[in-house]
């Protein structure tokens, strides 16, 4: 990453996984760029981080990732304020959705536009920066639901998260064997149940539910290792992934 202070830009940083990633990366010595729609929460998080780590620089901007021009503008502003961007975490997303064909195309469209088209805009903006720098680390936050098509209200969400993973995998394939392969890294994270606002309707007592701090610690560890793909936390999700991918539909429906 060079001799300068490490920097990381995180979208969807006002709460949940994004906010906790910002805390943990700041504690590890990173300067952080934060972007999200809820500016009051961003300001509170920035103040919290600078109080805990006065030596860290924290830049933050309001961002709705469905405003595509704003994505490019905000990424550029954060790069300028921080001087450079070593890592970008494409994290912003929605958990909204409904069964297909039940009159709630509006909810599924909002999820698709935010989770996939918004992620495409973020990926484009990040890669413009990395190509100009000839260095960087793109991290996309997918989901365990991307491993296999999901039923009911999860169908569109899972499809968007599979799309996000394929964007990253396509980039990785493009870079393979080129001079930039070792300079621009691409990682995909597949979180399981980690306590956050997005999954607050999931049974919080399930033994598969990880605390936000523990779950994000696994995400941060995978990011710092620059792994290509990571199911997080590894237990039980690394073992669950092949089962979810290959199980007969009857078995899959009982699992989920």
Q: Which residues are catalytic?
A: 157
d(CA 222, CA 149): 25
Distance of CA 175 to CAs 168, 170, 179, Å? Answer: 11, 9, 8
Output the CA–CA distances (angstroms, integers) from residue 120 to 167, 189, 197, 232, in the order listed. Answer: 8, 16, 23, 23
* Residue 207 CB-density burial (10 A; 0-12 exposed, 13-18 middle, 19+ buried): exposed
Which residues lie below 8 Å from residue 205, measured CB to CB, with a gap of 6+?
none
Element (H, E) at 120: helix 118-133
- Find residue 138's DSSP bridge partners: 88, 186
């Amino acid at each position: 990453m060079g001799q300068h202070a490490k920097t990381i830009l995180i979208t969807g940083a006002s709460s949940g996984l994004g906010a906790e990633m910002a805390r943990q990366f700041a504690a590890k010595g990173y300067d952080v760029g934060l972007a999200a729609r809820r500016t009051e929460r961003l300001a509170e998080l920035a103040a919290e981080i600078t109080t805990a780590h006065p030596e860290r620089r924290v830049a933050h901007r309001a961002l709705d990732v469905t405003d595509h021009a704003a994505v490019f503008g905000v990424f550029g502003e954060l790069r300028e304020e921080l001087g450079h961007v070593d890592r970008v975490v494409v994290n912003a997303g929605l958990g909204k959705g409904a069964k297909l064909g039940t009159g709630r195309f509006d909810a599924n469209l909002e999820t698709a536009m935010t989770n996939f088209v918004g992620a495409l805009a973020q990926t484009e903006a990040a890669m413009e920066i990395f190509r100009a720098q000839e260095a960087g680390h793109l991290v996309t936050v997918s989901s365990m639901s991307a491993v296999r098509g999901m039923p009911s209200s999860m169908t569109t969400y899972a499809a968007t998260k599979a799309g996000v993973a394929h964007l990253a995998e396509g980039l990785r394939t493009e870079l393979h064997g080129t001079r930039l392969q070792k300079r621009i890294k691409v990682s995909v994270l597949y979180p399981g149940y980690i306590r956050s606002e997005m999954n607050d309707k999931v049974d919080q007592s399930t033994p598969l539910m990880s605390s936000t701090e523990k779950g994000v610690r696994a995400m941060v560890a995978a990011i710092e290792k620059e792994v290509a793909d990571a199911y997080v936390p590894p237990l039980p999700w690394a073992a669950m992934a092949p089962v979810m991918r290959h199980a007969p539909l009857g078995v899959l429906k009982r699992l989920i």
